[in-house]
């Protein structure tokens, strides 16, 4: 499977003999869906890397696409915002008590 951007094996540097295996986590865990809700689960799934296998050295490695990197950054920002909001709420509850 050839894409516009070439994928290079990190071990041997092979570029031509790479096979796409798909998303790293084939079956999505239902716990993430229950905890994160549908939109965040979609962003989490977007951020997971795509696995490739080098036929030359038989190494399996992952690579994130541009959308995957964007999804990972977005997920980190959302989780950081939720953490800050939770800490602020905890601080206000402690001060109010």
> Higher pLDDT residue, 25 or 15?
15
Q: With bands split at pLDDT 50, 70 and 90, how would you rate the model's confidence at 1?
A: very low
> Is 87 a residue whose pLDDT tops 70?
yes
- Summarised one tens digit per residue, pLDDT across range 34-85 is 776 777 777 777 777 888 888 888 888 888 778 778 877 887 898 899 899 9
Domain spans, the chain: 18-96
Query: CB within 8 A of 8, min separation 6: which ones?
Result: 14, 15, 18
Dist CA 75 CA 82 (whole Å): 11
> Is 88 a residue whose pLDDT tops 90?
yes
Q: Sheet harboring 18-23: ordered strands across?
A: 18-23, 50-54, 60-63
């Amino acid at each position: 499977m050839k894409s516009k951007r070439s994928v290079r094996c990190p071990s041997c540097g092979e570029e031509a003999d790479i096979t796409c295996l798909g998303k790293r986590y084939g079956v999505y865990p239902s716990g993430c869906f229950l905890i994160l809700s549908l939109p965040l689960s979609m962003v989490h799934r977007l951020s997971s890397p795509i696995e490739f296998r080098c036929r030359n050295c038989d190494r399996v490695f992952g690579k994130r696409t541009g959308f995957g990197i964007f999804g990972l950054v977005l997920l980190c920002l959302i989780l950081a915002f939720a953490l800050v909001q939770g800490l602020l709420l905890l601080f206000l509850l402690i001060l109010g008590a």
